[in-house]
Amino acid sequence: MNMQACRKIVFSLVFCLSVLASAVYSQEPIAELRSQAEKGHAAAQFDLGYKYAHGMGVPKDHKQAVAWYRKAAEQGYAKAQYNLGVKYANGEGVPKDDVLAYMWINIASASGNENALKARGSLEEWMTRDQIAEAHRLSREWLKKHAK
């Protein structure tokens, strides 16, 4: 098994454990959930992204999952920030990018997401110091731009 496959397995396990630990996903019909998501409700955007990521009531579509996670993440929704980071780490729905994965996971940890702290440590093991420094720089810029 190559390093890429091992990384994906580790991140998938971390992601699955975090889902089990903190999952309270909407049981609303997809049409109602989509309506709320399109109105800008971050929790609904996150839930819809999750449903696309796992094919729950909609076709499995990582690009759609990323799009909905990003909308919620941009509003400061920590679970979406974390899930978006995992998507970048695994290259699901977006090109694989450790710097952006770390950035989003770091932002999620700053927002109080405990799973992000664990994932950040795992991701650091595969990154160079320069990549980590760039991810921290991007995180600071994002947090400054989105300060409440």
Task: Find, among 111, 108, 89, 112, the residue nearest to 99 by Cα.
Answer: 89
Mean pLDDT score across all residues of the chain:
87
Q: How many domains does the chain have?
A: 1
Find the CATH number of the domain harbouring 87: 1.25.40.10
**Is 99 strand, coil or helix?**
helix
pTM across the whole model: 0.83
Q: Quick count: other Cβ atoms within 10 Å of Cβ 14?
A: 21
pLDDT digits (tens, 9 = 90+) for 121-137: 889 998 999 999 999 99
Angle among Cα 35, 83, 145 to the nearest 5 degrees reads 85
d(CA 102, CA 124): 8
pLDDT digits (tens, 9 = 90+) for 15-34: 554 444 334 455 678 999 99
Q: Which domain holds residue 123?
A: 3-21+30-145
Helices (H), the chain: 3-22, 30-38, 42-54, 62-74, 78-90, 98-110, 114-124, 129-145
